[in-house]
Chains A and B, each alone.
Chain A
Amino acid sequence: MSAPIIQCQQLSHIYSGKVALNQVSFELDAREPIGLVGPNGAGKTTLLSILSGFLHPTSGTVRVFGHPPGSAQLIGKISALPQDARLDPSFTLAEQLVFYARLQGFTRQQAVLEASRVLEIFALKDAAHEKPLALSHGMAKRVAIAQALIGKPALVLLDEPTTGLDPMNVRAVRSIIVELSSTTTFVISSHDLAELDRLCQQILLLENGILQIDKVRVNEQQATSRFITLQMENCPAAEVIAKLIVLEGVLQITNPQKNEFIVEYNPDLQPGMDLQLMHCIQTNHWQYRQLSHGKTLEEKLFSRNS
Chain B
Amino acid sequence: MQPAFFNHLLLICAFELKRGFATRKSILSLVTFAVIWYFILLYPLRFAAELLVQEKGLQAELSIFDVIGFGSIQHWPIPEFGVFWHFALMIFPMLSIMLAADQTCSDRERGTLRFIVIRSSRNSVFFGRFIGAMVIQALWISAAAFSTLGLTLTRDPSLLSFAIPDLPILIVNLILVVLPFTAMMAALSAKVKSTRQATLWAILIWMFLAGIISSLAYYLPVLAFLKCLIPGYQLSDMAQLSGWRTLSLAYIPLLQSLILLILGRWIMARQAL
Contact = CB atoms under 8 A, between A and B. Distances in A.
Interface in B234-271: 270
Interface stretch (A28-36, A102-110, A282-290, A295-303): A102-110
A86 B112 contact: yes
Given A103-B120, A104-B119, A52 B114 contact: yes
A88 B2 contact: no
Q: What band does the interface of chain B fall in when counting residues whose beta carbon is under 8 Å from A?
A: 20 to 34
Contact of B23 (A70, A73, A90, A103): A90
B101 to A, nearest CB: 15
Given A55-B272, A99-B15, A85 B115 contact: yes
Interface in B104-126: 107, 110-112, 114-122
B255 to A, nearest CB: 30
Contact of B11 (A54, A82, A91, A102): A102
Interface residues of A, number: 32
Nearest to A55: B272
Contacts of A262: none
A85 B110 contact: yes
Contacts of A56: 270, 272
B2 A85 contact: no
Nearest to B120: A103
B118 A53 contact: yes
Contacts of B191: none
Contacts of B25: 90
A87 interface: yes
Contacts of B117: 53-54, 70
Interface string B114-140: 111111111000000000000000000
Given A75-B3, A80-B114, 4 more contacts: A54-B118, A72-B121, A87-B112, A103-B116
19 contacts: A52-B114, A53-B118, A54-B118, A56-B270, A70-B122, A75-B118, A75-B119, A75-B120, A78-B118, A79-B118, A82-B111, A84-B111, A85-B114, A87-B112, A99-B11, A102-B3, A102-B11, A105-B1, A106-B1
Interface of B: 1-3, 5, 8, 11-12, 15, 18-19, 23-25, 107, 110-112, 114-122, 270, 272-273
Top-4 shortest CB links A-B: A85-B111, A103-B119, A105-B1, A54-B273
